[in-house]
Amino acid sequence: MDEPLESWPRPLYRDGGGQPFVFYKLHGDFSTMPRVSRAVHRCAGVPVGLELFVTTREVDPAFFEFGLTGVFAKDLEPALADALAAAPHALIIRGEVRDAATLDYLRDVIGMCTAMLDGGALAVFDPQILTWWTPARWREQVFAPGEPTIGRHAMILVSEEPDDPHRAWVHTRGLRLFGRPDLSIHRVPTELMPVMKELCDRFIAMAAAGAVIGDGQPIRMEALPGDWRCFHAGSFDDPDFNNVHLDIRRLDES
């Protein structure tokens, strides 16, 4: 009988926050599918709601090339980019998870991607955080800890506001993996940037833990002056997030 796998709990989980959306893509030779070991890869199989399929450049050139150009490929080393483009296959793990009460789905998907890398896949692409993972980085930072490394699955971005170089737009990507909205905070003054980084880290941790943020919910942080609240906004089609988001704003500022 198989030994039970350690569950990854979501201690703040509540229904109604949305279903996790998973999307990973690996390039390599998948003529023979690598073996996924329950014990070695900490994987109980493909989570219900996800699909796993292989395609080629000839069958679906647009999908095969997704991630190899533009903003997705900006940090790719040229040699790896060439190898990815020359690979015979792309393997995709994608879909909406049905059971989101724990992060066991994430544990299983991480194990599955690791098994593909062990079988010769060249890299793991996570379009939700605009990142290609090399095998070494994936194993060290995502798989080896053996627990949810939440900060590896979300990113905090800072963009200059076009009408005011002294204020910034702080926003996140990646929280759709947990079925929760991303964050958007406009017109952040320079002196509040460290506080906003802490705020984002807290919200990312709450999202992974399964918390649901109500519309209009106030934010209580001693270091954050004023009346700040969260409002649900956006859609999955928004290219800045590929997710809905929380518009976090100060209500008592003129």
Q: Are residues 124 and 53 in the same domain?
A: yes
Q: Are residues 128 and 158 in the same domain?
A: no
Range of the domain at 218: 154-250
Rounded percentage of the chain residues whose pLDDT exceeds 90? 90
With the C-alpha atoms ordered 79, 82, 85, 88, is the resulting torsion angle positive or negative?
Answer: negative
Q: Are residues 188 and 70 in the same domain?
A: no
Per-residue model confidence (pLDDT) at position 166: 85
Report if residue 114 sits inside a domain.
yes
Q: Are residues 177 and 133 in the same domain?
A: no
Report if residue 232 sits inside a domain.
yes
Q: Are residues 67 and 164 in the same domain?
A: no
Report if residue 4 sits inside a domain.
no
Total domains in the chain come to 2
Alpha carbon distances (Å) from 139 to 7, 76, 124 = 19, 18, 11
Report if residue 218 sits inside a domain.
yes
Domain boundary among 128, 147, 166: 147
Q: Are residues 197 and 246 in the same domain?
A: yes
pLDDT level of residue 254 (50, 70, 90 thresholds): low
Report if residue 225 sits inside a domain.
yes
Whole-model pTM? 0.95
Domain boundary among 147, 172, 201: 147
Report if residue 10 sits inside a domain.
no
Q: Are residues 79 and 118 in the same domain?
A: yes
pLDDT of residue 144 exceeding 70, the answer is: yes
Domain boundary among 106, 130, 147: 147
Q: DSSP string covering the chain, please?
A: -PPPPPP-B-TT--TTS---EEEEEEEE--SSPPPPPHHHHT--SSPTTEEEEEE-TTT-HHHHHTTSSGGGGTT--HHHHHHHHH-SEEEEEEEE-S--SBSHHHHHHHHHHHHHHHTT--EEEEGGGTEEEPHHHHIIIIITT-S--GGGS-EEEEEEETTEEEEEEEEEE-GGGGT--EEEEEEEEGGGHHHHHHHHHHHHHHHHHT--PPTTEE---TTS-S-EEEEEE--TT-TTTSS-EEEEEESS--
Q: Are residues 28 and 127 in the same domain?
A: yes
Q: Are residues 45 and 80 in the same domain?
A: yes
The answer to whether 250 touches 221, Cβ cutoff 8 Å, is no
Q: Are residues 29 and 143 in the same domain?
A: yes
Report if residue 107 sits inside a domain.
yes
Report if residue 164 sits inside a domain.
yes
State pLDDT tens for residues 32-74. Answer: 999 999 999 999 999 999 999 999 999 999 999 999 998 899 8
State pLDDT tens for residues 190-241. Answer: 999 999 999 999 999 999 999 999 999 999 999 998 999 999 999 999 999 9
Q: Are residues 143 and 198 in the same domain?
A: no
Q: Are residues 38 and 97 in the same domain?
A: yes
pLDDT level of residue 76 (50, 70, 90 thresholds): very high
Per-residue model confidence (pLDDT) at position 75: 86
